[in-house]
Amino acid sequence: MSIENQAKVLNGELRERLLAPDVISGSEILLRCLLLEGVECVFGYPGGAVLYIYDAMHNNPDFKHLLTRHEQGAIHAADGYARTTGEVGVCIATSGPGATNLVTGIATAYMDSVPLVVITGNVATPLIGTDAFQEADITGITMPITKHNYLVRNVEDLPRVIHEAFHIANTGRKGPVLIDIPKDISSHTTVFKPAINDKISIRGYNPTTDPNKKQVEKILAAIEKAERPVILAGGGVVYAGASAELIEFVDKTRIPVTTTLLGLGGFPSAHELWMGMPGMHGTFTANKAIQNADLLISIGARFDDRVTSKLAGFAPKAKIAHIDVDPAEIGKNVPTEIPCVGDVKYVLAYANTKAKRANSEAWIAEIAESKRNFPLRYNDSDKELKPQWVIEMLHDTTNGEAIVTTDVGQHQMWVAQYYKFNHPRALVTSGGLGTMGFGFPSAIGAQMGNPDRLVISVNGDGGMQMCSQELAVCALNKIPVKIVVINNQVLGMVRQWQELIYDNRYSHIDLAGSPDFVKLAEAYGVKGLRARNKEEARAAWQEAMDTDGPVLVEFVVRKHENVYPMVTVGSTIDEMLMGDEVDEANEAHYISSCE
């Protein structure tokens, strides 16, 4: 919820009711606190340890809860909500298996710095540690993958704990916070003392937001001396709401920009100085520019191995400057000469007051020529559907204005390459953990948080089957997500690696026997469409766009298509396979091996 909307809620009649010092249960305290924090919707799945909480929801007109069909669907939906709105996503699950089913989603959010508050039930306090029915040490399990977690042992602590959890999740380097509530705590009663207006002071937690101005000025001085500068912009630009500041900074300094997978949309793809995505499946121009840069400025990016590839050969000619809100990331992977700790938005805002133009016009001309000579390309066909063409069609028919969620695999990389994002928070994808099953439920959360936006969920036929049960949620709640299944009948990215790295030894990648996705959608009450060629694809997609409510469109594509460029493990990022020299021979071998 926006600050403006939250203020309206807290200043109205509802606020007075929520703040009343009534004697209420821990469950009612939880619901009141979530509403006071501005939570619009909670995604969850009930069970024994949270029945008091769900009982408190009964006939509560102020509290909105969306019942998913699996706990993993709930946390991925909360994640999609958080990424696209900038607010904290909230999910709830019961103890034991309910809580452990959230672990993959918690790790997904943690790796990608997504603010979540995850609420789990636990067995009653006297039973903790006795191996009681559906007991699991969820705080111990999730300690490495949360910013912080709480086991609440006193009902009077709930308001403070909830308020702190939201603060921790959504400040500094953002991330998930878990609150574990034993069943007896959710039933105990006390006088409600809200903490919403309390000043938060947590010993040991004081993230740096304002930068050291001298460090910013060192970066600006380096820019004035640079002739081949490059900006590497990551997800931190998006999460900090710093896109406008980055555009201003680039316009003032005239430095070419490459955006990581999670940074896509943080800098507009239509800008003349955008070079595309870097790394394993990055553009030729972006990778070559990094390798030839004399100054590389990382802004909210953590030098992930999919970006750097072989560290010893990464950006060998460049002085490295690194701007990040998390000091632990600076120097962790790549030696940094100019560190700058601070919120990216604040760093760039100050930098823009003093930024001057780099001596980069010859470098810009060189990069422009590279973009003309080495664009992303593929061998199109009028006989069969190419997945790259499908993504281009999605972009063209939406003018690049949709929110797009992806699962993980080849289709994810094709979306990153061929759907051109011009706005932040328009791409939702699992970057760090690479979680299959993420794409579709995250789209449900994105749509709930953005009811007036077109949300497209792009999935492979493998990942779609991991959370396909959430089709019921779309049908019952009329959530109008447009679900795309790029069906190549195999685990495409695994097949590509087995082809190129494992000498065509194809092992357990055949997804034959997958369901008829159209019939599967229809079984859940969702319209299903299928396309096998361009004409059918255009017609099916137009029908989907013209339909109110959810639609699944299956695009049947050739199974032996690879993602290029590709940097193989152990290579530097300028050692790229472009595709032309390997495709034809390996395609023939693949077809014969599968017959």
Q: How far is CA 367 from the centre of its chain?
A: 29
Taken as a whole, the chain contains a residue count of: 595
| CA dist., res. 259 & res. 243, Å (int) | 12
Q: How far is CA 339 from CA 269, 325, 497, 512, in A?
A: 27, 11, 36, 51
| CA dist., res. 314 & res. 291, Å (int) | 7
For tokens 């001596």, name the residue.
359
| CA dist., res. 467 & res. 490, Å (int) | 17
Note whether 413 and 434 are within 8 A (CB).
no
3-state SS, residue 279: coil
| CA dist., res. 426 & res. 415, Å (int) | 12
Note whether 519 and 526 are within 8 A (CB).
no
Note whether 480 and 446 are within 8 A (CB).
no
- Residues with a catalytic annotation lie at 71, 133-134, 183, 493
| CA dist., res. 443 & res. 455, Å (int) | 7
DSSP code of 200?
A: P
| CA dist., res. 325 & res. 207, Å (int) | 8
Q: How far is CA 141 from the centre of its chain?
A: 22
For tokens 């603060």, name the residue.
167
Largest CA distance in the chain: 74
| CA dist., res. 309 & res. 314, Å (int) | 7
DSSP code of 533?
A: S
